[in-house]
């Protein structure tokens, strides 16, 4: 990791050959991305330059390590990555060299030394169904989170599992998984949702924390507004095709080749708030819709349960065709009974209208 | 915590299933009830054919009637404007067509969104004019009961919430979309039990009127 002699972020960046110009460019980009006024750029640069290494404890619960993969591998080497490298990552299952008791000792040491000042990053959901579903060194995820968050300055929930419960919480939620916010209620919690989340969002949150010592403005789901303020749909470069009514009907038809709107192929862009359409992925190379696949809505709560990935957003979650058929069958069943009763009435009515002859009357009497 | 998203999932899931089931069952029973009602046999000799006068009435009662137009122009104009706007919005908006395709297994071409958008505005304006007419015209006011205002609200809400959701005037979007779906579910649930049934019975009723006149040999 980073040399212990390097005291500030500025030192670390200079040592890695980042020019002053490159650094300021990063600060300007970060400030604009986070919707800070241009006047804030020098302040951002000065603060980041002098920023000390914050201690970060990274807790992994019910997760797939995809978030760590996304953050550590996608942009390498870039300024985002260097900032990520600069933090004192004192505990991280995947990246730490220590194991067993030594690893847990490192976490406890970091908590003691930086009481009240360290950041906790969480990826993965916390199972409440049975503590044994997910344990680390004999402790349940719940115990570790409660213990570690108690002395933290703030908690960053990285990925949709930590932010909203994600895949572990998907119906029928066999482990009773919950999000970080369901457990940590007395500390600021930032949700950086996505499956995986965009790397620059977490560095943006870190930069904000290093600069101002506070967390950025959050939306109703606890996500930084700067990145989750607008929907994929509103920023999508394919939006004009949606407005014109030009859609791809399959993944290989003329519309797909011409880059028309993917709404009919199940794009969840209209309900999804994330920065993919503007920030893009892999150093701005592309993003799902640009590569020809609709948005899955991975930064929204419960996106696994929001209906088929390839069903248009207007299609209900359940099997609408089956519901309709069953309802029609039930309706016809009831109607058939009613018709039977009506038939009786009809026959009775016809009987009343039958002409009676003298012979009939004689027979009756 | 995740209120608006939970709300959207509920309206797209359980609530929609319940609403569509009530709608379909109610619709079939009501239609069956009408078609299979035990009417007593007419023993009188028919004085003319039923078929042609029936078809004729379907046409004539669909077109505006000159006398009504003269007496109550707003009733006719608002009625047409609203119905045309509503039908275009309901049947020719691409996301709606996708829902029909999923339900019935087939779809049809839609219109570009700006045209549907204009149609939705026509629908809203038409409905507002119809309400104003109902409240200010003394005859209309006297004829109107609670059910008339109920079905007005049931029809107005989906148009309004759909317009607000499309233009993203309610935030966050999942809440807007959820409200739109909820308003449609209300409409679906109450549809079979109110005069909204005219959507399915109007041609039946018009044909029956004409056919009965034809049978009796009088002008329909």
pLDDT tens-digit map of B83-121: 999 999 999 999 999 999 988 889 999 999 999 999 999
Cross-chain residue pair B25–A164, CB shorter than 8 Å: no
Cross-chain residue pair B26–A334, CB shorter than 8 Å: no
Nearest to B13 among A221, A233, A318 (CB): A318
B63, B110, B113, B77: which is closest to B91 by C-alpha? B110
> Residue A316: its chain B contacts at CB < 8 A?
12-13, 16-17, 20, 99
What proportion of chain B, given as a percentage, has pLDDT over 90? 56
Which residue of chain A is at minimal alpha-carbon distance from B172? Answer: A271
Cross-chain residue pair A349–B41, CB shorter than 8 Å: yes
Q: How large is the average pLDDT for residues B49-68?
A: 86
Alpha-helix runs per DSSP H in chain B: 3-12, 14-36, 51-60, 66-71, 73-92, 94-104, 113-136, 138-143, 146-166, 173-190, 198-216
Measure B132 CA to nearest chain A CA, in Å: 32
> Residue B105: its chain A contacts at CB < 8 A?
321
Q: With 0-12 CB in 10 A as exposed, 13-18 as middle and 19+ as buried, what is B26? A: buried
Q: How far apart are CA B188 and CA B163, in angstroms?
A: 19
Nearest to B32 among A219, A221, A338 (CB): A338
> Residue A247: its chain B contacts at CB < 8 A?
94
- Does residue A312 form part of some domain? no
Cross-chain residue pair A315–B38, CB shorter than 8 Å: no
Which residue of chain A is at minimal alpha-carbon distance from B18? Answer: A323
Cβ pairs bridging A and B (under 8 Å): 148
A247 close to B (CB below 8 A)? yes
Write down the pLDDT at residue A184. 94
The total number of structural domains in chain A stands at: 3
CA–CA–CA angle B133, B135, B140 (5° rounding): 65
Write down the pLDDT at residue B219. 81
A228 close to B (CB below 8 A)? no
Q: How large is the average pLDDT for residues B33-55?
A: 78
Based on the domain organization, do A344 and A252 belong to the same domain? no
Cross-chain residue pair A334–B6, CB shorter than 8 Å: no
Write down the pLDDT at residue B180. 96
Write down the pLDDT at residue A14. 79
Average pLDDT by stretches of 10, chain A with 365 residues:
57 77 79 76 78 83 89 60 69 82 88 89 94 90 94 92 94 94 93 90 79 83 90 93 91 94 94 90 88 94 90 87 89 86 78 74 71
Based on the domain organization, do A289 and A141 belong to the same domain? no
Asked whether the beta carbons of B158 and B183 are under 8 A apart, the reply is: yes
Write down the pLDDT at residue A345. 77
Q: How far apart are CA A360 and CA A364, in angstroms?
A: 6
Cross-chain residue pair A338–B111, CB shorter than 8 Å: no
A-facing residues of B in 174-193 (CB < 8 A) are 174, 177
Write down the pLDDT at residue B41. 66
Cross-chain residue pair B112–A307, CB shorter than 8 Å: no
Q: Which domain holds residue A29?
A: 9-228
Asked whether the beta carbons of B4 and B175 are under 8 A apart, the reply is: yes
Cross-chain residue pair B20–A320, CB shorter than 8 Å: yes
ipTM value of the model? 0.82
Q: What are the CA-CA distances from residue A6 to residues A86, A97, A295, B82 (Å)?
A: 9, 20, 42, 72
Which residues lie below 8 Å from residue B46, measured CB to CB, with a gap of 6+? B215
Provide the CATH topology of domain B3-24+70-216: Fumarate Reductase Cytochrome B subunit (1.20.950)
Based on the domain organization, do A162 and A69 belong to the same domain? yes
Cross-chain residue pair B24–A244, CB shorter than 8 Å: no
A222, A157, A128: which is closest to B2 by C-alpha? A222
Based on the domain organization, do A176 and A44 belong to the same domain? yes
B61 close to A (CB below 8 A)? no
Please indicate whether residue A11 or residue B149 has the higher confidence score (pLDDT). B149
Based on the domain organization, do A41 and A84 belong to the same domain? yes
- Does residue A311 form part of some domain? no
CATH number of the domain enclosing A270: 4.10.480.10
Cross-chain residue pair B113–A242, CB shorter than 8 Å: yes
B45 close to A (CB below 8 A)? no
Cross-chain residue pair A305–B9, CB shorter than 8 Å: yes
Based on the domain organization, do A160 and A267 belong to the same domain? no
Based on the domain organization, do A24 and A73 belong to the same domain? yes
A115 close to B (CB below 8 A)? no
Say whether pLDDT at B182 is over 70.
yes
- Does residue A300 form part of some domain? yes
Q: With 0-12 CB in 10 A as exposed, 13-18 as middle and 19+ as buried, what is B142? A: exposed
Based on the domain organization, do A91 and A194 belong to the same domain? yes
Nearest to B98 among A312, A332, A335 (CB): A312
Based on the domain organization, do A280 and A347 belong to the same domain? no
- Does residue A79 form part of some domain? yes
B140 close to A (CB below 8 A)? no
- Does residue A272 form part of some domain? yes
Q: Cβ atoms within 10 A of the Cβ of B193, count?
A: 12
> Residue A301: its chain B contacts at CB < 8 A?
2, 5-6
pTM of the entire predicted model: 0.81
Based on the domain organization, do A156 and A76 belong to the same domain? yes
Based on the domain organization, do A237 and A219 belong to the same domain? no
Q: How far apart are CA A227 and CA A273, in angstroms?
A: 8
């Amino acid at each position: 990791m980073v040399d212990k002699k390097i005291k500030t972020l500025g030192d670390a960046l200079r040592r890695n050959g980042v020019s002053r110009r490159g650094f300021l460019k990063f600060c300007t980009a970060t400030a604009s991305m986070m919707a800070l006024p241009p006047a804030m750029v020098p302040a951002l640069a000065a603060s980041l330059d002098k920023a000390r290494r914050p201690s970060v404890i990274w807790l992994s619960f019910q997760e797939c390590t995809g978030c760590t993969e996304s953050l550590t591998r996608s942009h390498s080497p870039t300024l985002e990555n260097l900032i990520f490298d600069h933090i004192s990552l004192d505990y991280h299952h995947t990246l730490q060299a220590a194991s067993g008791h030594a690893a847990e000792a490192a976490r406890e040491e970091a908590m003691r030394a930086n009481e009240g000042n360290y950041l906790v990053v969480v990826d993965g959901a916390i199972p409440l169904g049975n503590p044994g579903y997910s344990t680390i060194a004999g402790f349940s995820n719940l115990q570790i989170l409660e213990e570690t968050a108690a002395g933290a300055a703030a908690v960053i929930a990285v990925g949709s599992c930590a932010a909203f419960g994600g895949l572990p919480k998907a119906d029928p939620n066999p482990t009773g998984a919950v999000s970080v916010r369901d457990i940590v209620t007395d500390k600021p919690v930032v949700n950086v949702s996505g499956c995986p989340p965009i790397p620059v969002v977490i560095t943006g949150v870190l930069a904000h924390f290093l600069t101002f010592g506070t967390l950025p403005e959050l939306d109703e789901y606890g996500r930084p507004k700067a990145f989750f303020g607008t929907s994929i749909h509103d920023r999508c470069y394919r939006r004009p095709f949606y407005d014109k009514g030009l859609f791809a009907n399959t993944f290989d038809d003329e519309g797909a080749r011409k880059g028309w709107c993917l709404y009919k192929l199940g794009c969840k862009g209209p309900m999804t708030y994330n920065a993919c359409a503007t920030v893009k992925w892999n150093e701005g190379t592309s993003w799902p819709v640009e590569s020809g696949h609709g948005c899955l809505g991975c930064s929204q709560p419960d996106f696994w349960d929001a209906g088929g990935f390839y069903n248009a957003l207007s299609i209900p979650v359940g099997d609408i065709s089956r519901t309709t058929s069953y309802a029609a069958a039930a309706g016809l069943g009831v109607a058939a009974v009613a018709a039977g009763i009506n038939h009786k009435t009809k026959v009775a009515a016809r009987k009343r209208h039958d002409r009676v002859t003298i012979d009939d009357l004689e027979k009756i009497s | 915590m995740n209120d608006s998203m939970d709300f959207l999932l509920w309206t797209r899931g359980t609530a929609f299933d319940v609403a569509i089931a009530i709608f379909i069952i109610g619709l079939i029973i009501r239609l069956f009830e009408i078609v299979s009602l035990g009417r007593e046999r007419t023993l009188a000799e028919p004085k003319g054919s039923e078929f042609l006068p029936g078809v004729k009435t379907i046409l004539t009662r669909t077109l505006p009637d000159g006398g009504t137009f003269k007496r109550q122009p707003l009733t006719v104009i608002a009625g047409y404007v609203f119905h045309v706007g509503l039908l275009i919005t309901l049947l020719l908006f691409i996301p709606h067509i996708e829902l029909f395709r999923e339900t019935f297994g087939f779809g049809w071409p839609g219109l570009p969104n700006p045209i549907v958008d204009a149609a939705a505005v026509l629908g809203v304006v038409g409905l507002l004019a119809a309400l104003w007419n109902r409240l200010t015209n003394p005859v209309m006011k006297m004829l109107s009961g609670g059910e008339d205002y109920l079905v007005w609200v049931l029809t107005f809400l989906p148009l309004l919430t759909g317009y607000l959701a499309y233009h993203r005037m309610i935030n966050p979007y999942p809440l807007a979309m959820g409200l739109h779906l909820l308003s449609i579910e209300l409409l679906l649930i109450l549809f079979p039990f109110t005069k909204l049934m005219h959507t399915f019975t109007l041609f039946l009723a018009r044909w029956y009127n004409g056919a009965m006149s034809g049978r009796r040999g009088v002008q329909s």
